[in-house]
């Protein structure tokens, strides 16, 4: 793999609207991934018009990103409408006991159900499935690993045929949005070059959810590593090469997880 961390000839601000296509490059042709030092301010709660993101340093984040054609837009639009109608009759959470407003509770419920439907659909292998090409899967995994312990700590990951799952902890001065921009810009450019194609590679937005409890973190690790088993591609997580469950990643994974043995809800920011 070519070096995705090489310094650009001059600093470059990442385009907040970049979707990972080769168009997002600085004037001398260097991919947007290759910024001067990779640092950026954390953005807190924000949205690019698709769904809300929570970007704070030190949070254990479950992250998902998919190829542009893995789930058709009209399918997601239909699911969104159906979920809104279905959730309309569900009693809202009690803000006095849950600490969450009824509107936020309903929105979170819809978002969680929608993401689950998208995951199930993506696991069926729709779309171009460029990540099924071992060359593309390898460069994608290498991009995830490249800045491990520098810009973030990886706790789990899995490269599927048309999407990726990652559990990671962004470090201070490295925002989640720019970490995703870095992965997607580099892999889109490199993959398109290998595949001799042009145009969009990744879906513009991504999914993220920060872990609130240790049990949630442990369940998410299992979910990520069992993704190929759920999709009936292998019989055990260890058989999937492009995953944190693969035996050759054991030392890295054990070392990183020892840094985050548990999550104390009392130490989470007040969101």
Instruction: Give the model's pLDDT for residue 122.
Output: 64
Instruction: Give the model's pLDDT for residue 113.
Output: 63
Checking if the pLDDT of 249 tops 70, the result is yes
pLDDT tens digits, 74-122 = 566 664 565 566 555 555 444 444 455 565 555 556 666 666 666 666 6
Please state at what angle helix 73-87 crosses helix 102-123, rounded to 10 degrees: 140
d(CA 189, CA 228): 26
Of residues 183 and 100, more confidence is placed in 183
Instruction: Give the model's pLDDT for residue 54.
Output: 72
Instruction: Give the model's pLDDT for residue 55.
Output: 77
Instruction: Give the model's pLDDT for residue 36.
Output: 35
pLDDT tens digits, 112-162 = 666 666 666 666 667 899 999 999 999 999 999 999 999 999 999 999 999
- At 168, is the pLDDT very low, low, confident or very high (cuts 50, 70, 90)? very high
| Residue % of the chain over a pLDDT of 70 | 59
Instruction: Give the model's pLDDT for residue 98.
Output: 45
pLDDT tens digits, 10-68 = 222 233 333 433 333 322 333 333 333 445 565 555 455 556 667 777 899 999 999 98
Instruction: Give the model's pLDDT for residue 82.
Output: 59
Site of tokens 């696991």:
123
């Amino acid at each position: 793999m070519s070096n995705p961390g090489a310094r650009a000839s001059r600093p470059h601000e990442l385009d907040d609207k970049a979707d990972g296509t080769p168009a997002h490059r600085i004037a001398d042709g260097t991919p947007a991934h290759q910024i001067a030092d990779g640092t950026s301010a954390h953005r807190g709660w924000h949205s690019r018009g698709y769904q809300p993101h929570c970007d704070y340093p030190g949070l254990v984040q479950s992250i998902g990103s998919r190829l542009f054609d893995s789930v058709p837009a009209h399918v997601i639009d239909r699911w969104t409408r159906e979920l809104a109608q279905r959730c309309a009759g569900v009693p809202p959470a009690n803000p006095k006991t849950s600490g969450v407003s009824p509107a936020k509770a309903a929105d979170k419920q819809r978002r969680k159900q929608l993401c689950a439907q998208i995951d199930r659909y993506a696991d069926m292998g729709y779309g171009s499935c460029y990540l099924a090409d071992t060359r593309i899967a390898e460069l994608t995994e290498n991009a995830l690993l490249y800045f491990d312990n520098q810009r973030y700590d990886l706790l789990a990951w899995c490269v599927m045929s048309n999407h990726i799952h990652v559990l990671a902890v962004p470090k201070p001065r490295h925002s989640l949005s720019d970490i995703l921009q870095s992965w997607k810009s580099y892999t889109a450019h490199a993959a398109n070059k290998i595949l001799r194609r042009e145009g969009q590679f990744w879906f513009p937005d991504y999914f993220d959810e920060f872990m609130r409890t240790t049990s949630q973190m442990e369940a998410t690790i299992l979910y990520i590593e069992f993704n190929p088993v759920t999709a009936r591609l292998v019989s055990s997580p260890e058989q999937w090469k492009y995953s944190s469950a693969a035996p050759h990643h054991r030392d890295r994974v054990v070392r990183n997880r020892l840094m985050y043995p548990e999550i104390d809800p009392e130490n989470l920011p007040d969101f």
